[in-house]
Amino acid sequence: MPSVASGLLTAHLKIRVGERPLEADLTVPRGAVKPVQLLPVLQSLSDAVVARAVQDSEREGLAVSCRKGCGACCRQVVPVSEVEAHHVGALLDSTPEPRRSLLVARFREAGVRLREAGLLERLRDPQGLSGPDRLELGLAYFGLGIPCPFLEDESCSIHRDRPLACREYLVTSPAAGCARPTAEAVHLVPMPVKVSVALFRSGQGAGPGESRWVPLVLAPEWTDSHDQPGARPAPGMLEEILKNLATTSARP
């Protein structure tokens, strides 16, 4: 049941993750906010889902092998929701110089390399690709070895603000196997539900079951041509995302 205090609304959520229920209290403003202002709540929910999935893996004797300094997965196409793309843009804008210019240059260089490799236009419209085409594109992207612009010394420099898709990507196979992103080499921690996918399906203009996402490496370019959506009642937005969560598979 929801409760109200000091202009905030707290809803008690109970969902099933794997074979066990997960309960969480989600607190949002009662009034209208921009979607990006819900990200901390969704990050917290994603972390709770991931923690439960990790516990289930550990009960089966499988330990997460991801460690600080292992950044192979940071060279994959990272899908971010439209809301998170705007958040990436805000992170860049708030970064002091000279680091901001360094990050902007990394994003720009990645775009140049993608254009030279003939991948840029397809990455600009990932929604238009079939599943096999997305897989082929992802492997081609990984083959270029382009690191995430936020990667520093093989570790995430925005770990607290990292995308939901990054939070949900954990492996139990040896870390070295991530340099060969195949089903045989990489064993992912199963995520029965993904908050990232629920947010993809809440993108502007998304039809029923349709995902809207942006490659992280193109987020600044995308935000330059897309305004942030206006403020909407926070409880309604959260309800929409949770409905999408209830019907998600683990794939965008």
One pLDDT digit (tens) per residue for the chain, 252 residues: 455 456 888 988 888 776 778 888 999 999 999 999 999 999 999 999 999 999 999 999 999 999 888 888 999 999 999 999 999 999 999 999 999 999 999 999 999 999 999 999 999 998 888 889 999 999 999 999 999 999 999 999 999 999 999 999 999 998 888 888 777 889 999 998 999 999 999 877 667 767 899 999 999 999 999 999 999 999 999 999 998 888 765 444
Q: In this structure, is residue 114 part of a structural domain?
A: yes
Q: In this structure, is residue 124 part of a structural domain?
A: yes
Residues near 53 by beta carbon (within 8 Å), at least 6 away in sequence: 17, 18, 170, 189, 190, 191, 192
- The owner of tokens 């936020």 is 150
CA distance 196 to 79: 9
CA distance 246 to 195: 10
17-47 confidence digits (pLDDT tens): 767 788 889 999 999 999 999 999 999 999 9
In angstroms, the Cα distances linking 183 to 14, 145, 186, 250 are 32, 19, 5, 15
The DSSP bridge partners found for residue 215 are: 79
Kindly compute the dihedral angle of the four CA atoms of residues 222, 147, 152, 43, in this order, to the nearest 10 degrees: 50
CA distance 108 to 123: 15
Q: In this structure, is residue 251 part of a structural domain?
A: no
Residues in the chain, overall count: 252
Q: Which of 185, 168, 178, 206 is nearest to 78 (CA)?
A: 168
pLDDT recorded at residue 6 = 66
pLDDT recorded at residue 195 = 95
Query: Which range marks the domain in which residue 225 is found?
Result: 3-246
What's the total number of domains in the chain? Answer: 1
Q: In this structure, is residue 252 part of a structural domain?
A: no
- What's the half-sphere exposure (Cβ side, CA atoms, 13 Å) at 157? 15
Q: In this structure, is residue 60 part of a structural domain?
A: yes
Q: In this structure, is residue 115 part of a structural domain?
A: yes
Q: In this structure, is residue 32 part of a structural domain?
A: yes
pLDDT recorded at residue 205 = 67
- The owner of tokens 């898709």 is 165
Q: In this structure, is residue 180 part of a structural domain?
A: yes
